[in-house]
Every structure is written in structure tokens, then in C-alpha cells.
């Protein structure tokens, strides 16, 4: 660390790692960062994606399930994913035509297997908590690089929900002096960041909108008995029509009536919810196409209704910028456009920013700020009592 960029005042080369609730793989963004906090300047040098193999994806699904998870499996997978994340760093650097000694830092989100922002009522020892696995010591030893990770618990320790984190990076990357922008990430879970024109940190409104790809992916997996893990491009849903009665029942879920700040995950909208949804679709004798269309409409309506109820009453929004895996679902984007006629719906690619890279870039920013001792949470988004420095450091 003696000759680190943070001591010398030069730009840092950081590899940000992200693996989200979609359980689809590891995203690695190699980023050059100058400065810190809201004044940081960011250049994406390379983006690399390493898909999870189907068997690993299923094992991770099992770990996210109360019925199928166990301590031994969590313990082993924590180390195993550390090796996988480390390998992804080395592969990303090689894919970029770079050398690992050009990298200053690795910053990893880890793989969430449980997120409990509100204590379980009546359960002894239950507190707000979260668990991301993929041991950072393994990553550090595998890559030979300083590694920062395990960000979320620090925000929870000061009263936050440990999510969403994207708003911090959204503010740095996408704020505009004249246009109000809604950044909508659609991974397994959907999360939005409302940036009024000329926003500063106190103006930001952010929260999880509900399920993103999670229900759609689970339904596609169940309908095909595991042959498909998602509805590519939304082509299956495009052939069907949403069932309005079932859609209204789904939108009556208490999560959508809760005021922000709020966050969610597989605990509410995971496998059990998807099974229940499919059972209701079959009771209504829906075709597979109509079932997929209803699942897609559920995500679209949960996003649009969140804006109408919690964003538009407070801020004027001109653009909706979609990132994450959902940015590739043309049917979902079309539904959002119909539900939001007064906003321009686009993907971040239209602004020259890779749709899939954003969250990995944001974790590179979070790691860079950790190294400089700069608070890197956004209390307006997470509900924390105060700004704090999030993260833990592992030495190579």
C-alpha cells in the first residue's frame, strides 16, 4: 500500500464485482477512478461477464431457501464463490489485454443469499441483517490484490436497510443539471433512483420497486422444467396477454403499499412466491404465454405504480433509464413505455453506458471511497441515521 494511488493522488484502477439476485453470474467492471465521492470521475475500461453454470445457479437458489439451505452448504459456498470471484477478476483483466499488476483494488458485492432489513416479529435474537457470501480473503489471495467487500452490514449498523446502494453511484454517474432522471435497475429485484434536475444527496429518493426479473425467470424455469432460465428478450411474454384479475391480486401485496425507504429480496418474492403465482395462473387456466405475459406485466406495473405513488408527487421526472438484465427484455420495456407516456423510457446504452455494467461500476466506486475513508452510503436511500464508511478490507 506504500505506493498506492490513494497516497500518490493518481487515478486508481479498480475491478468492481457484482453478482445479483438473478443468480445469473458474475459481472466485472474494470474502472479508472479519479477523486472520490460525488466529485469522482469514472472511466469504464472493460466489462466482463462470467455466467454461473446451471448446477451452481440451482445450488445458490437452494441456499436462498429456508427449506433447502444449511450451515455446511453456506460455509462451503462462501469459500467456493471466493475462488470464482477471484478467477473472474483474472479473466476480466486478461480479456481486457491488461496485466494484474496494473490493478490497484478489487471491490466485491458478493452474492446475497439472505437479506432481512426488518427483524422477524416474535423471533428471539432476530435483528435487521444481511448476508453476502464470496469470501474476500480468498479473492485477495487468489488475485494478489487488496480486496474490499461486505458493504451492507455497516449501513444496517447505523439504522439503514443495507439497500439500495445503486443510488450512490447513480448520483455520481447520471445526475443532470436540467433533466429529472429515474434510474431503474432491473436485476432479480428492481430498484429505482429518482434524481431531480440538479440533484444533490439530500434530493435523492430511492428504494426497491419489487421483483425485477425474479418472478419471470422462475416461471420460465418451472414452465420448461428447467430447460430455460429466463424468457430471452421477452419473446414468450410478447405472445400472450396479461390476466388483469391475477395482476390486481399480485399488486395488492403489502410491500407495494409501504412507504420508502424500503428494500426487498427473495425473502418476499423468491421461489415460494413464484410457485404460488404459477398455481394461481393454472387455477385460472392461463396459457403459458399468458402466464409469462402476466409475470412481465407484474414487474412493469410494480415499477410504474411505485413512481406514481412515491416519486411523481414530489419530483418532475423527464427520463426513465433502465439498466440490468431487464434492459434486454423488449416486452418489459414496451410495457413500461405504455404505462409511463409522459417520460422517455430508454436504456443506459442510449447514453453510451453499458446496460449490464452499471452495478459493478458502482461497487468499484464504493471500494475506492472506502480506501479514502469517504462515507459511501446514501442515508436518503437506505434510511440510515448518518453517513458512514462501508466495507471491510482483506490483504493479499
Domain architecture of the chain: domains with CATH: 5-162+357-394 (3.30.420.40), 166-351 (3.30.420.40)
The annotation status of 27 as a binding-site residue, yes or no, is yes
Provide the percentage of residues in the chain whose pLDDT is more than 70.
99
Whole-number pLDDT of residue 241: 98
318 is in an annotated binding site: no
Average pLDDT for residues 205-211, to the nearest whole number? 93
Q: Is 246 marked as binding a ligand?
A: no
Is 226 assigned a ligand-binding role in the annotation?
no
Core vs surface per residue 42-65: b (16+ CB within 10 A) or e: bebebbbbbebeeebbbbbbbbbe
278-328 per-position pLDDT tens digit = 999 999 999 999 999 999 999 999 999 999 999 999 999 999 999 989 999
pLDDT tens for residues 217-247? 999 999 999 899 899 999 999 999 999 999 9
Rounded to 5°, the CA angle 336-341-345 comes to 50
Question: Given this model, what pLDDT does residue 352 score?
Answer: 86
Q: Which of 46-55, 231-240, 250-259, 261-270 has the lowest mean pLDDT?
A: 261-270
Give the mean pLDDT of 158-167.
90
> What pLDDT, on the 0 to 100 scale, is given for residue 35?
95
Q: Is 23 assigned a ligand-binding role in the annotation?
A: yes
Provide mean pLDDT across the span 169-175: 93
**Edge-to-edge strand ranges of the sheet holding 181-186:** 205-211, 189-195, 181-186, 319-323, 344-347
Q: Is 155 annotated as a binding residue?
A: no
Q: What pLDDT is recorded for position 360?
A: 95
pTM of the model: 0.85
Amino acid at each position: 500500500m506504500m505506493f498506492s494511488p490513494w497516497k500518490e493522488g493518481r487515478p486508481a484502477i479498480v475491478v468492481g464485482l457484482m453478482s445479483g439476485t438473478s443468480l445469473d453470474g458474475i459481472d466485472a467492471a474494470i474502472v479508472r477512478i479519479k477523486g472520490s465521492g460525488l466529485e469522482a470521475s469514472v472511466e469504464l475500461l472493460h466489462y466482463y461477464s462470467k455466467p454461473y453454470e446451471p448446477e451452481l445457479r440451482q445450488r445458490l437458489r437452494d441456499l436462498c431457501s429456508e427449506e433447502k439451505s444449511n450451515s455446511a452448504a453456506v460455509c462451503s459456498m462462501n469459500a467456493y464463490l471466493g475462488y470464482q470471484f477471484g478467477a473472474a477478476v483474472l479473466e476480466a483483466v486478461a480479456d481486457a489485454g491488461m496485466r494484474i499488476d496494473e490493478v490497484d483494488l478489487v471491490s466485491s458485492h458478493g452474492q446475497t443469499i439472505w437479506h432481512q432489513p426488518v427483524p422477524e416479529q416474535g423471533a428471539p435474537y432476530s435483528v435487521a441483517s444481511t448476508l453476502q457470501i464470496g469470501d474476500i480473503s480468498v479473492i485477495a489471495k487468489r488475485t494478489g490484490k487488496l480486496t474490499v467487500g461486505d458493504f451492507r452490514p455497516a449501513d444496517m449498523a447505523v439504522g439503514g436497510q443495507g439497500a439500495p446502494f445503486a443510488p450512490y453511484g447513480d448520483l455520481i454517474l447520471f445526475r443532470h443539471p436540467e433533466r429529472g432522471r429515474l434510474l431503474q435497475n432491473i436485476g432479480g429485484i428492481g430498484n429505482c433512483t429518482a434524481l431531480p434536475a440538479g440533484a444533490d444527496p439530500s434530493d435523492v429518493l430511492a428504494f426497491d420497486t419489487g421483483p425485477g426479473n425474479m418472478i419471470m425467470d422462475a416461471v420460465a424455469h418451472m414452465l420448461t422444467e428447467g430447460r430455460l432460465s429466463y424468457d430471452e428478450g421477452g419473446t414468450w411474454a410478447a405472445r400472450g396477454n396479461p390476466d388483469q384479475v391475477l395482476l390486481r391480486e399480485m399488486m395488492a401485496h403489502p410491500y407495494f403499499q409501504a412507504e420508502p425507504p424500503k428494500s426487498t429480496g427473495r425473502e418476499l418474492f423468491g421461489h415460494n412466491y413464484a410457485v404460488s403465482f404459477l398455481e394461481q395462473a393454472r387455477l385460472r387456466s392461463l396459457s403459458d404465454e399468458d402466464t409469462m405475459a402476466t409475470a412481465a406485466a407484474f414487474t412493469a406495473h410494480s415499477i410504474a405504480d411505485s413512481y406514481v405513488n412515491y416519486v411523481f408527487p414530489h419530483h418532475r421526472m423527464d427520463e426513465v433509464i433502465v439498466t440490468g438484465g431487464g434492459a434486454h427484455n423488449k416486452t418489459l420495456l414496451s410495457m413500461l413505455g405504455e404505462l409511463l407516456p409522459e417520460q422517455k423510457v430508454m436504456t443506459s446504452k442510449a447514453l453510451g453506458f453499458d446496460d449490464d455494467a452499471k452495478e459493478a461500476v458502482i461497487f468499484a466506486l464504493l471500494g475506492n471511497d472506502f480506501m479514502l475513508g469517504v462515507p459511501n452510503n446514501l442515508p436518503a436511500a437506505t434510511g440510515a441515521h448518518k453517513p458512514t464508511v462501508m466495507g471491510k478490507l482483506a490483504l493479499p
